[in-house]
Chains A and B, each alone.
Chain A
Amino acid sequence: MLKLLARHLLRISVTLLLGGLLAATLIRFAPGFDTDERQMDSRLSSESVEALRQQRSAQGNVLKFYGAFLSAAVRGDFGQSETLDRPVRELVAERAPVTLKLMAYGLLVGWSLALVFAVSATMARIAAWDVATTAMAGLFLCIPSAVLALAFVFARAPGFIALGLIVFANVFRYWRNLLDKSYAMPHILTARAKGLGTLRILLWHVLPVSGAQLLAVAGVSVSVALGASIPVEALCGIPGIGQLAWQAALARDLSLLVTLTLLVTVVTLLANTTSDLLGQAFRTQRA
């Protein structure tokens, strides 16, 4: 087990390093990196505009930047945010817990709704309920996240429910299809024919079969939740990293964006690794 964990940690570390470098490269070569919005301010003298340009060109070499970034990061220094003129570490430390909390509640709501509706649609086998749940998931997939978040602000409801509905919409169909497939397996048909209770069939025979894939979907939904947190935070006035990431992206704030990418990568990797390990545990138990 320890060996397995160590292997996973190594994989995470390598992926993290590579992710940071790729992110830095993407950001560095994106159009507008060398510019600063303040250049358009006609009150600034040409010396000041030139100084702004020089500031940006200091981050020109990606490898040099990334090397310096990593060596400082090891000491806990993730650089200075150009957007907000504050240490990146401070910004992320302030805001990451807010986003993680939002995501935790949102995922809980999303997964609960998806499980309840997927299980009920699979077990009930009522066409009208199937259509209704499909349409409901479809509705929340089709509503832009910004509109959903706005509607919740309008209704004075907490933002994590909007996030939960987005997660539900993304996860429901996968779970529905996986449960459906499991229910159609011969041993389930036999169990049903022999009169086993629906709950027993679900807990002891269906979930173990599809557990690994259900968990894989759950792991991936963490990325969905992270992505959806940007408009939800921005609109619901939640000062999390989603809001910060959008501001940083528009300003091409390299240090902040690389740090946020590393954070997102860690969360994604941890979520997917956890779902992989749990999935493996499921398979081992079945075996």
Chain B
Amino acid sequence: MSPVRIALNATLLLLIFVIQETLISPARLPLSGFSLYLAVLLSLVLLENRTGAVILGFVGGLILDLSPSSNAPFGQWALILTGVAYVIAVNAESIDEIVSRPVGLGLFVASGASLALILFLILGSLLGESAGSFGRATIVISGNFFWTMLITPFFMPLLLTIREVTIGARERI
């Protein structure tokens, strides 16, 4: 993954982060809404090899750590998303052409997002943060799973187009 593409992906993620914080979070959607940011980030991770996925996960996590509404220590999302990105990249290698299967893609990204949220909760508990009742956490995670599965196939073509435009000749080989 070239430094230019890391910068481009980071810019795209920053834009999604602003959309998430300003438009989606205040919308108060049913089932506690969803994280468009996580969905886009994990979809981008799917398109990369292991090295690219790990870098993207780390950069994406750092951007999410910037969220002023977060109570978590800085670096918690970076730690989790680096690990989850690696897991996704390793597992995606065993599924051929997952990006061209809308249901499989939605399920894969939604599972990754849920895994990230569960790890965030577990690590948060270890660091002494309180995240509310078990029921509330279940609603947030399952709501996020549902919404992510629903929306991922819709923005994936756009991400593929952006990737085609930005990818260098050396990386294409």
| A and B physically associate | no
